Structure 1
């Protein structure tokens, strides 16, 4: 597939293409354009030209177009979901859910954008007013990862377009096809040419060109912390605005009084969804020593009921997206076992005719872990969980906070006061108490420490794509 610039398919200046591989079979399913800085310039120039009129478009009309795009996403949901399933390997049911929730988020942003307001402070000065207004920042570069290719773009795209910005999207080279199909849908919905552009490729040259270009006003990035730090430093050198949603190493604390009938299914479901390939999954567990053995037994039993297979087989888990992501899980398991952890289930590459051509790793539980092990200190981005016992709640919180990351955390306690006190003490952008579910559309999502800068979703997400301007009016 080619780049999508100014509402049209455009061949890359390099005339080069790369393969999109099916992670379940290793087969080539499509090709994508290998862009270079000339393609970056073309996309940004298109977005710049479109911005001149888009920023003046009435917000009600922007909302109408975005609602239309959401409806078309639902209409094309099966096609989009199958595209994601093929390029990512996630089970089809999860891909359909991603499209549904993304369309819902577009609808939410459409309505929330209508509620953005300025201010007129009551200075009570004769013949003078101060007007505080919001204006779109300009052309936004959205760089997104492979794991939720539509949802993570929606968080940026829906907010930016409602604020009056135009967008150049750069999807992951592992999953570019679904983003390109989304661009077609936005054109079908009636968006003007150049408002939403997509270029594909890989390498620092295209990333640097997107960030450093004089047209780029803001970079919105979701991905690994190391890449985020590099983007942040490069953006700061050019005084660009950023929203960075970076890595996580999320802890869950299971207190002595926790309801295991609630805690165990919630943790298993969240730890192994999408084969563990998302940033705010449960990565490490701290379980009170009095219930440690019981918890482990229940967790292992439920985990071993999960099925792993190809995305159209009705399974619970698919493959890892590529060898690099797969290898991280295998390396962390070996590191933990070498340092004394106990393997309770999983831990070895799945073999057999069904699995040999893909990157299949089973749901894995490591017990008796500690903070000398990578599984407890580094992001795994795979279906591996480390579990260790604790004696006091204060000890558990201290261990949970002993991390460079701070995206999400989880607490299970039947005592509401205990849960709230621990939530207040945990260093994370979001904390769930007594259940784990997807983040809501109307509340902010993002991390602290090395897990990011800024927030997405809610009115907070749209405001992040605006600049405040003060107008002093004398009359």
Structure 2
């Protein structure tokens, strides 16, 4: 069946065949307790399946399997790890249609976005397959009396707490480098998006990943997530999510001095200078905030625009925003659903508070539904203009299709506004002045800067934040650092 066939079948029946029922532990879907939780399709606001609520015992079994598998995997030749990871990429592509539809129904995004996520996931496994046999140490010159060198060793069992906004690609960007480095994996997907991680684990097994090397336990963060974070057998913990939950995870992991990678919130600015093309600025801002319904840590949720082009940019952008079609992700809309009713209420609360403060709402500003069905969790594409630096819509992460607009006159003012939040994840700069782009990029306190194309870059570049956006880097060669430890070896050459 093609992706369209699978999508149409679901839209008619409201059901997906052959969804995993249980956890994936030690190479197979395992029987789980009778504790279940409904999984909702955000585009319909209706339950379409149930999944297992794991227990601490389930997580314990998963970590035990991973610990056993790690001892074998670290002895596997790097070239063989390379071969298996390339096989994973191939199998993911062969199953991309089914996986993409599951991603839409799990998360609420559009099918086009989901297809892109699956292809990116396959590419991540290819990228790190190429790294598996290149994790070399270095020779250190201590003079003729000694031979000194370093080696990179796998850390062991790694834990991965997966967010709901990108459940497929975030799973891949942690699991692929961990496996390449010789580590094993225990993953806990978000409660609202449990199925893609389970299906991907099955596909990894089909591709030849040894039993026990990748394990997935579904359930609540307060149960299985907390157990993972507190378990001393977890040697590296990678978390993507909110600042509040990230701080809790760090506290739980601290007694064991567990290594951490935290990718937390963002309030990323797109800075448009007076020499920028207003059409290009508006287009960049459009995709920066309305992709995935704004549910992206690195979304360009602040437009910091020079006063001389402010009116033209906002006129173009507001016109495009008003024309956005929001509907179920499988029906080819411009923008999909909000992931959950709870999160929709949070977005609404932020915008309602801005209205109460007298904010200038250029367009949108309210909850909506799929115009064809009257169902689903949707929020109108929203632009809030002319905000002061201390306004909550500027300072707080809304994590939805809501753009906060600030105005400036000088380069120094633009940089100060851009750096003026507790976050430091991504920034975009729009200017035709190369010198200015370099000065501003150097002055911005964030982990990633793009010039004249907000989403420029790719998985080959490291990704991560400063300040309360977290620490550590994923993707790129730097993404391997979390899963290896360096050992120095010195040999005396004296006879």
TM-score (normalised: structure 2): 0.93
The alpha-carbon deviation at position 353 of structure 1 amounts to 5.8
Residue of 408, 417, 422 corresponding to 2:435: 417
Corresponding residue of 1:97: 116
Matched, 1:268 2:286: yes
| Distance in 2 (alpha carbons) for counterparts of 1:356 and 1:321 | 17
The alpha-carbon deviation at position 29 of structure 1 amounts to 1.6
Corresponding residue of 2:28: 8
| CA distance 1:38–1:431, shift in 2 (3 Å) | same
Cα deviation 1:240-282 (Å, max 9, x = unaligned):
0011111101111111111112111111012100000110001
1:192-341 equivalence runs, <5 A:
192-341=210-359
| Distance in 1 (alpha carbons) for counterparts of 2:186 and 2:111 | 28
| Distance in 1 (alpha carbons) for counterparts of 2:352 and 2:373 | 21
The alpha-carbon deviation at position 205 of structure 1 amounts to 2.7
Corresponding residue of 1:374: 392
Corresponding residue of 2:87: 68
Corresponding residue of 1:467: 485
1:33-182 equivalence runs, <5 A:
33-126=52-145, 128-182=146-200
Q: Which runs of 5+ in 1 are unaligned?
A: none
SS of 1:101 mapped into structure 2: helix
SS of 2:239 mapped into structure 1: strand
- 2:217–2:224 CA contact under 8 A, matched in 1: no
Cα deviation 1:49-88 (Å, max 9, x = unaligned):
1011001111111111010010010000000000011111
Matched, 1:404 2:422: yes
| Distance in 1 (alpha carbons) for counterparts of 2:177 and 2:370 | 45
SS of 1:83 mapped into structure 2: helix
| Distance in 1 (alpha carbons) for counterparts of 2:454 and 2:268 | 12
Matched, 1:18 2:37: yes
- 1:113–1:459 CA contact under 8 A, matched in 2: no
| CA distance 1:352–1:252, shift in 2 (3 Å) | closer
SS of 2:147 mapped into structure 1: strand
- 1:159–1:465 CA contact under 8 A, matched in 2: yes
SS of 2:463 mapped into structure 1: coil
Corresponding residue of 2:411: 393
| Distance in 1 (alpha carbons) for counterparts of 2:259 and 2:373 | 44
SS of 1:464 mapped into structure 2: helix
- 1:254–1:288 CA contact under 8 A, matched in 2: yes
| Distance in 2 (alpha carbons) for counterparts of 1:339 and 1:425 | 32
- 1:283–1:375 CA contact under 8 A, matched in 2: no
Cα deviation 1:385-412 (Å, max 9, x = unaligned):
0112112121121111111100011111
Q: Which runs of 5+ in 2 are unaligned?
A: 1-20
SS of 2:148 mapped into structure 1: strand
| CA distance 1:254–1:309, shift in 2 (3 Å) | same
| Distance in 1 (alpha carbons) for counterparts of 2:370 and 2:80 | 54
Corresponding residue of 1:357: 375
- 1:439–1:445 CA contact under 8 A, matched in 2: no
Corresponding residue of 1:430: 448
Give the root-mean-square deviation of aligned CA atoms. 1.4
- 2:24–2:30 CA contact under 8 A, matched in 1: yes
| CA distance 1:353–1:386, shift in 2 (3 Å) | closer
Which has the higher mean CA deviation after the structures are superposed, 84-93 or 365-374?
A: 365-374
The alpha-carbon deviation at position 181 of structure 1 amounts to 0.4
| Distance in 2 (alpha carbons) for counterparts of 1:322 and 1:394 | 40
SS of 1:279 mapped into structure 2: coil
- 1:163–1:463 CA contact under 8 A, matched in 2: no
Matched, 1:458 2:476: yes
| Distance in 2 (alpha carbons) for counterparts of 1:185 and 1:400 | 42
**Across the two proteins, how many residue pairs are aligned to each other?**
473
| Distance in 1 (alpha carbons) for counterparts of 2:187 and 2:245 | 17
- 1:81–1:92 CA contact under 8 A, matched in 2: yes
| Distance in 2 (alpha carbons) for counterparts of 1:447 and 1:411 | 17
The alpha-carbon deviation at position 351 of structure 1 amounts to 4.5
| Distance in 2 (alpha carbons) for counterparts of 1:390 and 1:337 | 23
SS of 1:312 mapped into structure 2: helix
SS of 2:219 mapped into structure 1: coil
| Distance in 1 (alpha carbons) for counterparts of 2:489 and 2:257 | 23
SS of 1:436 mapped into structure 2: coil
- 2:460–2:475 CA contact under 8 A, matched in 1: yes
- 1:339–1:373 CA contact under 8 A, matched in 2: no
The alpha-carbon deviation at position 309 of structure 1 amounts to 0.5
The alpha-carbon deviation at position 191 of structure 1 amounts to 1.0
The alpha-carbon deviation at position 429 of structure 1 amounts to 0.4
| Distance in 1 (alpha carbons) for counterparts of 2:74 and 2:305 | 52
